[in-house]
């Protein structure tokens, strides 16, 4: 009896598969086009299996070594076919692989998916338990599989409408391989558009090892049409070659392809990680901040491939957020997935890749700073603010990230920079901390009274004017064993002789009584030229308070600070004489409030009543002129 004379045998899907098919065919999907990625991936796997199986027995190939995956469209019949010349299916393997899901844990996943659906969430099912094949039912109301396995004299025909049953019967197929024929739903005929299919292949399967082909018609002279087979995937996976086999132009073009950036990258990284887990990485540092990043509409993360097949376009799990400007690809051969190729399973292997990639990128940025400093200065101006998020997000790499930072300082000329490492090298003997001051502009900071004692001791102070610096410093805290200390904070080393404190005691008490805005009034040895300044004790810095106010987050108001006085300054000495002569003299409060307001201005903040301050100064000028 010929194969065609045998009646098809009708069989039922296993219970779990029935439930999955119901979810597939009755749920909404945001990305139906992934069915083609799944079928092409299955075809590629089938080819790889026969190639491996034939390593010691090439005769099993039957002379059929023209490896390819073919997409065939039939608009009249409404079918889309994905064919391969891979290992093929026997009757038993068709029943086993297409009629059941022989994996443990399936029932638990189904319960989870049902829970998601009941909660109004959209379940994603593609990528595990052989479910990739069944994604065809998202777009097809009937699927036919024609296959013949290697060495078998007879093929098999499998068919189902995805409603719970399938038929299987012998089938005469002359060559080894598999055809998956999708009878498309009326609503899904867009997938018979050659341009649409090309775009899907380019998106998901462009770097697949095997060629993906389609027939195209070209009109020749005389009006006759000629059909040719066109390869529609590039197959140029730049990360699979060695670095020496790629040109700079190829790296630049690849970067532009994956980033939609018209500019050349500033630098690229290409390496293969070997050992317990193998994966390949090509990553790029953009030269300029991407347009979307500047306006808050920016999708980030590396492209994740598994065996050249795109799994996720923007995989945030492969990079820490402070490196979100990096573009590139990671291709892993064995990274496990959960029930969806769209959602990666949280697992140690993924974290290992992230750790490895992060370390490589940080080293590459450090090399960039060393090898091409002038170019790096410009690059840091674009991305430094993002990098400074690092100490707060990546404790393990805090100092490696800090090594990448550039700072202006009191001793660097305007427009030039130092690093924390250079700061430590230049520290005078006896200096025990790294000093910094935050504010709006370099000009404001370098003329601040807080600089006086450091300048007098020959010590440098970092001038931090980027709003993110407050966050960065709070999380960095120390570098190479040296604490970072704010120049506008009260310090225990500020010693004033006991006799001086006793001498000015009445003035300090009088001023404290007149200035409810401050928590205390003290003498300081830190001022050399100015009469007074305000220092913080434990609370937010003045600059941080200003930043919070600009963001509308100043619910706590301005914290009270300590007003410190320079006892050697003539203004403070005159105030002392007024108090000693007549503690009730109205000029004491006037001068005390003027000193306080000037200290507020010196720290970069606004006085509450600038009109009153202007009036007091004007009155003093009149008296002085008289």
The CATH number given to whatever domain includes residue 471 is 3.40.50.11260
Provide φ and ψ at 603, rounded to 5°.
Answer: -85, -5
Whether 394 maps to a domain, the answer reads no
For 152, the enclosing helix (H) or strand (E) is none
Strand residue runs (E) in 376-452: 408-409, 433-438
Prediction pTM value: 0.76
Residue 341: give its domain's CATH number.
3.30.230.80
270 Cβ contact list (under 8 Å, min separation 6): 239, 243, 246, 251, 281, 282, 283
Residue 450 pLDDT > 90 = yes
Q: Supply the pLDDT for residue 348.
A: 76
> Of 442, 470, 487, which residue sits at a domain end?
487
Poorest-pLDDT segment among 112-126, 364-378, 579-593: 112-126
Domain containing 422 equals: 407-487
pLDDT tens by residue, 143-172: 999 999 988 889 999 999 888 788 999 999
Residue 104 pLDDT > 80 = no
Helix axes 586-602, 505-514, angle to 10 degrees: 80
The answer to whether 401 and 366 have CB atoms below 8 angstroms apart is: no
189 Cβ contact list (under 8 Å, min separation 6): 78
> Of 459, 487, 515, which residue sits at a domain end?
487
> Of 452, 470, 487, which residue sits at a domain end?
487
Q: Supply the pLDDT for residue 287.
A: 95
pLDDT tens by residue, 471-530: 999 999 999 999 999 999 888 777 788 888 899 999 999 999 999 999 999 999 999 999
Tell me: do 76 and 212 sit in the same domain. yes
46: left (phi over 0), alpha (psi -120 to 50) or beta: alpha
Residue 105 pLDDT > 60 = no
Tell me: do 275 and 342 sit in the same domain. yes
Query: What span, in angstroms and rounded, lies between the C-alpha atoms of 363 and 379?
Result: 16
Number of domains composing the chain: 4
């Amino acid at each position: 009896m010929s194969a065609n004379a045998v009646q098809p045998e009708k069989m039922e899907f296993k219970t779990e598969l029935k439930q999955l098919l119901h979810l597939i065919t009755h749920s909404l999907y945001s990305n139906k086009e992934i069915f083609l990625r799944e079928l092409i991936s299955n075809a590629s796997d089938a080819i790889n299996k026969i190639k491996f199986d034939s390593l010691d027995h090439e005769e099993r190939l039957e002379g059929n070594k023209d490896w390819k995956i073919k997409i065939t469209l039939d608009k009249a019949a409404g079918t889309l076919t994905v064919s391969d010349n891979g290992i093929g299916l026997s009757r038993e393997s068709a029943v086993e692989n297409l009629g059941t899901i022989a994996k443990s844990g399936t029932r638990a996943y189904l319960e989870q998916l049902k829970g998601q659906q009941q909660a109004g969430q959209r379940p994603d099912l593609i990528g595990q338990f052989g479910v990739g094949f069944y994604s065809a039912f998202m777009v097809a109301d009937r699927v036919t599989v024609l296959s013949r396995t290697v060495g078998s004299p007879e093929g098999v025909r499998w068919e189902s409408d995805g409603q719970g049953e399938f038929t299987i019967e012998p089938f005469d197929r002359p060559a080894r391989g598999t055809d998956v024929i999708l009878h498309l739903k009326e609503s899904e005929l867009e997938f018979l558009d050659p341009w649409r299919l090309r775009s899907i292949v380019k998106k998901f399967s462009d770097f697949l090892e095997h060629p993906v082909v389609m027939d195209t018609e070209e009109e020749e002279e005389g009006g006759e049409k000629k059909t040719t087979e066109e390869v529609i995937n590039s197959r140029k996976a730049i990360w699979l070659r060695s670095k020496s086999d790629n040109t700079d132009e190829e790296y630049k073009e690849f970067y532009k392809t994956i980033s939609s950036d018209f500019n050349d990258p500033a630098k690229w990284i290409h390496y293969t990680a070997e050992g317990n887990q193998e994966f390949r990485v090509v990553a790029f540092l953009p030269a300029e901040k991407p347009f979307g990043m500047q306006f808050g509409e920016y999708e980030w993360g590396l492209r994740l491939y598994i065996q050249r097949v795109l799994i996720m376009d923007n995989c945030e799990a492969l990079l820490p957020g402070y490196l979100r400007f990096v573009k590139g690809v990671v291709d892993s051969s064995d990274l496990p997935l959960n029930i969806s190729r769209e959602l990666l399973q949280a697992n140690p292997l993924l974290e290992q890749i992230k750790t490895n990639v992060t370390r490589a990128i940080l080293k590459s940025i450090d090399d960039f700073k060393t090898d091409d400093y002038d170019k790096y200065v410009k690059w840091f101006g674009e991305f430094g603010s993002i990098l400074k998020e690092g100490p707060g997000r990546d404790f393990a790499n805090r100092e490696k990230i800090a090594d990448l930072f550039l700072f202006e300082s009191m001793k660097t000329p305007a427009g030039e920079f130092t690093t924390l490492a250079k700061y430590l090298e230049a520290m005078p003997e006896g200096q025990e901390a790294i000093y910094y001051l935050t504010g709006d502009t370099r000009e404001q900071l370098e003329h601040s009274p807080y600089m006086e004692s450091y300048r007098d001791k020959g010590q440098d102070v970092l001038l931090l004017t980027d709003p993110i610096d407050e966050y960065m410093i709070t999380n960095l805290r120390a570098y190479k064993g040296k604490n970072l200390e704010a120049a506008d904070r009260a310090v225990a080393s500020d010693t004033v002789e006991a006799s001086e404190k006793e001498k000015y005691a009445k003035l300090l008490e009088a001023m404290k009584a007149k200035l409810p805005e401050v928590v205390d009034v003290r003498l300081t040895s830190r001022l050399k030229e100015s009469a007074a300044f305000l220092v913080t004790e434990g609370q937010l810095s003045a600059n941080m308070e200003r930043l919070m106010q600009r963001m509308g987050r100043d619910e706590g108001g301005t914290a009270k600070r300590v007003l410190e006085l320079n006892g050697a300054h003539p203004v403070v000495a005159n105030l002392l004489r007024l108090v000693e002569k007549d503690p009730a003299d109205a000029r004491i409060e006037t001068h005390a409030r003027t000193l306080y307001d000037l200290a507020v201005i010196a720290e970069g903040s606004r006085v509450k009543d600038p009109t009153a301050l202007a009036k007091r100064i004007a009155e003093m000028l009149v008296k002085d002129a008289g």
